[in-house]
């Protein structure tokens, strides 16, 4: 265990020292011996004096040592420092069934798959952390057993000061705080209720000193765990290194440790997906000029196309040469392969994460841990205090929510969700109307460059406006989700968090993807045909797809939203806390509220430094998971249209890991080290996204892209029908086959020799046929092929996914054997230790007997 050095000061903060205070780092009480395990903060002006006094009196009755200290930066703030003595820690460690070290051993904590994935088999792996850089993590794997005071002699207690880690001590104190009464004779208890009614302003475990040192860590070592985390995890210069998960778990707890383990695993699994996606993109880039479809479009100097808007003129097909080549980058032969690959990748990612999670729960002693029953939320207790029932677990009476009340509130909440979803659809409809208006304006623009590229201008402005609407509505959705969740009155905090997380995901998922679904499956599908176009409100003609297809619009939509959303999220995650903490430091430098203790400038105690940091997000890890889960959806659902999505996600996540690490270590107060065995409701959401991704990619390939029409032409109508080979030459004449003829009339038969006939993208009979403008046989062949492809693709991919899930067990076989062997060895060790203890006691009693015998 590291000792915290005195006088480690952050150079960019002006600090103050209380006169006559013993010199310490702010981690010890005034006696310089007892460690501070928890900090409570309250305002002197608060009116909840009686509740606070009763609460603190009951804390002392539980064995806690309390010490009060005024703030050096605000006269109205008072700190209550809490220390848990050895006897109290042992008592509650036994009650909480905390597993403690029994005997040192060596474990194998990673399997062959994770070793291969993370390249740990290389002789000199540059991504691997040097073991010498993490001295506190060496030789810590050991047998553990639930702590009991009766068998304390079984445990390896080298020092009472270091036997319980700082995070374990904080968790024990938090357990006591949650169950201490604040009103005598009543069942009202818990620090959360006191935080809710304003009795206390904050409650948090202190950071273990500063995160920076004047001396290099290589020569002088780490000053504390926080300093070690900053140097080996949160610094941007080590972005390519593995995360020290054991140290993260030890400092922040298993729940946050699992989040970073999952984020690191997800980022590592994105590497093969990004490489394959980049390969598909490069394949499209290198074959762009040799594409038969692109060649035919670029060479079609005499093919006159029908006007694409009311203000537009007929145009030649060769004008869209660049558009056709760019479309080929994303709509090529590798599209289907990559869609199947990503569907399988999502399954492999989730299945191997289950195995990785099983290893972590074993290494972190969470196999036999059962989540403690959450305490009732204060709002639930206050609302239903008059209706009680007997808790089937504890056997004690508790408030109860009647079924009718629960159903009525749930119906109101569901109605609110549907209302917000309808608001999203309304916003999408408004963007569609804007695109129709902008289409006409850009087509008649005075600037020739804009007039010539009016489709790009329309799509670009539409995407940008849609992005602004998405980010604006996200702010509204968070407040609405918060209100609807509180309206439901969830019974416990975990129920509240799951309900809130589900609402936030539904809101933001629909908000983020609704416009993308419109472009993928509705844009250009209902525009009609020349001479019989469909118009919105009988005023604006509906937007058409380009002759090369609508896939480029979908790519533009996904690329812009994904890129700018990641930049915005990263700025808000780091920029906002930095600005808030800068403002706090500025007030401290100006002595704002400093009072009588702000006369000398030296070192602020740790509790004052932590108070001036930002608290962890009130929603816990919901926002962190939500951002990554939405990104996972964007990476998998429409990946057939945008193969670079995994690469963008990989680059973002490399930054995200260090950004979150920097935020947790330097900008936020230390959160309570909570325990957890999995990522909760998010795993089910990820599996649902994986299922949805198969369906959407099947429809994107079959409907949005031109893969199926090209396939049908090559096998049924092209020049290679009777030949045994298939290549680009088999698509010769495809463009002409996919364009129908429309008679524009005498008005367009001008002096420049223009024909009165124009071409448009559809499979319809020419005007001189017996049934003009009816669908041709080729149309029905393409439609049947599209439907058949959807069915075959979905069944094939689902079959492969299910087979892979069956082949990969949730827990490695070697881990199961190690767990069974450890259980056996633990029984043997406990038996041997008990025999040794009894033998020592017998010898001790025998010596005492002979000594006392006359």
Mean pLDDT by 10 residues, the chain (854 residues): 30 32 63 90 88 91 91 88 92 84 56 45 55 50 76 78 87 88 72 86 90 76 85 86 88 91 93 93 86 86 83 82 83 84 90 89 77 64 69 67 84 88 87 82 72 74 84 85 86 83 89 85 82 82 75 79 78 70 66 43 77 82 90 87 89 90 90 86 91 89 87 86 68 88 67 69 89 90 93 90 85 75 69 69 61 50
Q: Are 748 and 756 in contact (CB under 8 A)?
A: yes
Using CA atoms in the order 60, 62, 64, 67, what is the torsion angle rounded to 10 degrees? -20
- Count the neighbouring beta carbons within 10 Å of the beta carbon of residue 130: 9
DSSP states of 302-335 = S-EEPPSSTT---EEGGGGHHHHHHHHHHSSTHH
Q: Which distant-in-sequence residues (6+ apart) come within 8 Å of 251 by Cβ?
A: 166, 167, 208, 225, 226, 229, 670, 673
User: Looking up tokens 């705080």, which residue turns up?
Assistant: 177
The whole-model pTM stands at 0.83
Nearest CA-CA partner of 45 in 82, 87, 78, 6? 78
Helix (H, G, I), strand (E, B) or coil at 745: coil
Q: Are 176 and 92 in contact (CB under 8 A)?
A: yes
Residues β-bridged to residue 48: none
Q: What is the pLDDT of residue 551?
A: 77
Between helix 454-488 and helix 493-521 the angle, nearest 10°, is: 160
Nearest CA-CA partner of 605 in 41, 167, 52? 41
Could you tell me where the DSSP H helices lie in 149-244? 160-163, 166-178, 191-196, 217-220, 225-229
| 16 sits in which H/E element | strand 15-16
Q: Give the sign of the dihedral formed by CA 419, CA 421, CA 424, CA 426.
A: negative
Angstrom distance (rounded) from CA 530 to CA 312: 13
Helix (H, G, I), strand (E, B) or coil at 212: coil
Q: Are 644 and 104 in contact (CB under 8 A)?
A: no
Task: Map 104-172 to HEC letters.
Answer: ECCCCCCCHHHHHHCCCCCCCCCCCCCHHHCHHHCCCCEEEEECCCCCHHHCCCCCHHHHCCHHHHHHH
| Count of CA atoms in the C-beta half-sphere (13 A) of 372 | 15
Angstrom distance (rounded) from CA 777 to CA 784: 11
| 423 phi/psi in degrees, rounded to 5 | -65, -40
Q: Are 521 and 407 in contact (CB under 8 A)?
A: no
Q: Are 730 and 718 in contact (CB under 8 A)?
A: yes
Q: CA 619 → CA 97, 234, 502, 722, distances in Å?
A: 28, 22, 13, 64
Angstrom distance (rounded) from CA 508 to CA 512: 6
| Count of CA atoms in the C-beta half-sphere (13 A) of 217 | 19
Nearest CA-CA partner of 203 in 213, 193, 188, 211? 193
- Count the neighbouring beta carbons within 10 Å of the beta carbon of residue 361: 20
Q: What is the DSSP letter of 209?
A: S
Strand order in the sheet with 315-316: 315-316, 304-305, 757-761, 739-743
Q: What is the pLDDT of residue 625?
A: 92
Angstrom distance (rounded) from CA 65 to CA 34: 9
DSSP states of 417-476 = HHHHHHHHHHHHHHHHHHHHHHHHHHHT-SSHHHHHTHHHHHHHHHHHHHHHHHHHHHHH
Q: Give the sign of the dihedral formed by CA 680, CA 681, CA 684, CA 689.
A: negative
Q: What is the pLDDT of residue 725?
A: 53
Output the CA angle 543-546-547, nearest 5 degrees.
135
User: Looking up tokens 């419109």, which residue turns up?
Assistant: 518
Angstrom distance (rounded) from CA 512 to CA 471: 9
Pairing state between β 38-43 and 757-761: unpaired
User: Looking up tokens 């004052």, which residue turns up?
Assistant: 608
727 burial level (CB within 10 Å; 0-12, 13-18, 19+): exposed
Angstrom distance (rounded) from CA 548 to CA 42: 66
Angstrom distance (rounded) from CA 88 to CA 92: 6
Helix (H, G, I), strand (E, B) or coil at 602: strand
Helix (H, G, I), strand (E, B) or coil at 534: coil
Q: Are 443 and 312 in contact (CB under 8 A)?
A: yes
Q: Are 644 and 278 in contact (CB under 8 A)?
A: yes
Angstrom distance (rounded) from CA 407 to CA 314: 60
Angstrom distance (rounded) from CA 11 to CA 213: 9
Q: Which distant-in-sequence residues (6+ apart) come within 8 Å of 487 by Cβ?
A: 409, 412, 413, 416
Angstrom distance (rounded) from CA 675 to CA 249: 9
Nearest CA-CA partner of 312 in 458, 425, 169, 204? 458
Q: Are 102 and 829 in contact (CB under 8 A)?
A: yes
């Amino acid at each position: 265990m590291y000792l915290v050095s005195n006088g480690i000061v952050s150079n960019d903060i002006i600090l103050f020292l209380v006169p006559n205070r013993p010199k310490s780092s702010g981690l010890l009480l005034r006696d310089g011996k007892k460690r501070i395990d928890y900090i409570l903060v309250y305002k002197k002006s608060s009116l909840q004096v009686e509740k606070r006094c009763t609460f603190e009196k009951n804390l002392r009755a539980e064995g806690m040592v309390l010490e009060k200290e005024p703030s050096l930066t605000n006269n109205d703030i008072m700190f209550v420092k809490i220390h848990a003595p050895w006897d109290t820690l042992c008592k509650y460690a036994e009650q909480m069934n905390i597993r403690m070290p029994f005997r040192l051993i060596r474990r194998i904590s990673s399997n062959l798959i994770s070793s291969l994935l993370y390249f740990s088999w290389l002789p000199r792996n540059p991504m691997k952390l040097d073991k010498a850089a993490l001295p506190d993590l060496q030789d810590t794997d050991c047998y553990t057993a639930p702590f009991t005071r009766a068998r304390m002699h079984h445990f390896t207690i080298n020092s009472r000061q270091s036997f319980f880690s700082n995070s374990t001590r904080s968790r024990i104190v938090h357990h006591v705080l949650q169950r201490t009464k604040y009103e005598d004779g009543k069942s009202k208890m818990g620090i959360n209720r006191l935080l809710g009614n304003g009795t206390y302003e904050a409650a948090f475990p202190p950071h273990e000193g500063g995160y920076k040192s004047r001396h290099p860590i290589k020569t002088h070592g780490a000053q504390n765990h926080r300093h070690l985390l900053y140097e080996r995890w949160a610094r941007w210069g080590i972005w390519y290194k593995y995360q020290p998960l054991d140290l993260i778990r030890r400092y922040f707890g298993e729940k946050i440790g699992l989040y970073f383990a999952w984020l690191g695993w997800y980022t590592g699994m994105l590497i093969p997906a990004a490489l394959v996606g980049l390969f598909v993109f490069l394949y499209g880039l290198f074959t762009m000029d040799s594409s038969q479809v692109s060649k035919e479009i670029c060479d079609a100097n005499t093919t006159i196309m029908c006007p694409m808007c009311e203000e537009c003129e007929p145009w030649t097909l060769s004008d869209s040469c660049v558009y056709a080549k760019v479309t080929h980058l994303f709509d090529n032969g590798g599209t289907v392969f990559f869609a199947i690959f990503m569907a399988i990748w999502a399954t492999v990612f989730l299945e191997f994460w289950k195995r990785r999670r099983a290893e972590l729960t074993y290494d972190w002693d969470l196999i036999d841990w059962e989540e403690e029953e959450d305490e009732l939320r204060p709002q639930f207790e206050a609302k239903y205090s008059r209706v009680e029932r007997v808790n089937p677990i504890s056997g004690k009476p508790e408030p109860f929510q009647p079924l009718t009340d629960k159903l009525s509130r749930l119906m109101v909440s569901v109605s609110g969700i549907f209302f917000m979803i309808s608001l999203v659809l309304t916003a999408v409809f408004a963007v569609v109307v804007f695109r129709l208006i902008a289409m006409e304006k850009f087509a008649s623009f005075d600037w020739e460059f804009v007039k010539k590229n009016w489709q790009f201008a329309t799509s670009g402005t539409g995407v940008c406006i849609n992005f602004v609407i998405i980010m604006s509505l996200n702010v509204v959705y968070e407040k609405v989700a918060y209100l609807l969740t509180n309206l439901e009155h969830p019974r416990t905090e975990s129920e509240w968090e799951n309900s809130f997380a589900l609402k936030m995901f539904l809101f933001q998922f629909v908000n983020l993807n609704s416009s993308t679904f419109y472009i993928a499956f509705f844009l250009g599908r209902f525009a009609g045909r020349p001479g019989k176009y469909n118009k919105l409100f009988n005023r604006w003609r509906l937007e058409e797809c380009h002759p090369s297809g609508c896939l480029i619009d979908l790519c533009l939509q996904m690329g812009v939203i994904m890129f700018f959303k990641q930049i915005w999220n990263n700025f808000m995650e780091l920029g906002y806390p930095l600005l808030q903490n800068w403002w706090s430091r500025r007030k401290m430098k100006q002595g704002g509220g400093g009072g009588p203790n702000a006369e000398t400038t030296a070192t602020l105690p740790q509790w004052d430094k932590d108070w001036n940091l930002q608290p962890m997000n009130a929603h816990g890890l919901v926002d962190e998971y939500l951002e990554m889960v939405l990104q996972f959806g964007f990476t998998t659902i429409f990946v057939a249209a945008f193969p670079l999505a995994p690469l963008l996600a990989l680059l973002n996540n490399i930054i995200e890991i260090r950004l979150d690490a920097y935020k947790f270590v330097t900008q936020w107060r230390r959160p309570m080290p909570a325990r957890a065995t999995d990522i909760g409701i998010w795993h089910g959401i990820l599996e649902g996204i994986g299922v949805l991704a198969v369906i959407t990619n099947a429809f994107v390939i079959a409907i949005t892209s031109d893969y199926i029409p090209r396939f049908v032409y090559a096998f049924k109508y092209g020049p290679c029908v009777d030949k045994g080979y298939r290549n680009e030459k088999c698509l010769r004449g495809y463009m002409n086959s996919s364009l129908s003829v429309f008679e524009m009339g005498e008005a367009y038969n001008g002096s420049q020799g223009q024909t009165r006939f124009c071409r448009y993208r559809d499979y319809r009979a020419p005007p001189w046929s017996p049934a003009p403008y009816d669908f041709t046989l080729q149309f029905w062949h393409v439609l049947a092929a599209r439907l058949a492809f959807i069915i075959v693709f979905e069944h094939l991919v689902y079959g492969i996914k299910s087979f892979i899930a069956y082949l990969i067990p949730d827990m490695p076989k070697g881990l199961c054997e190690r767990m069974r062997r450890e259980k056996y060895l633990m029984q043997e060790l406990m038996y041997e230790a008990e025999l040794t203890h009894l033998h020592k006691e017998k010898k001790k009693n025998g010596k005492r007997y002979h000594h006392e015998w006359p």
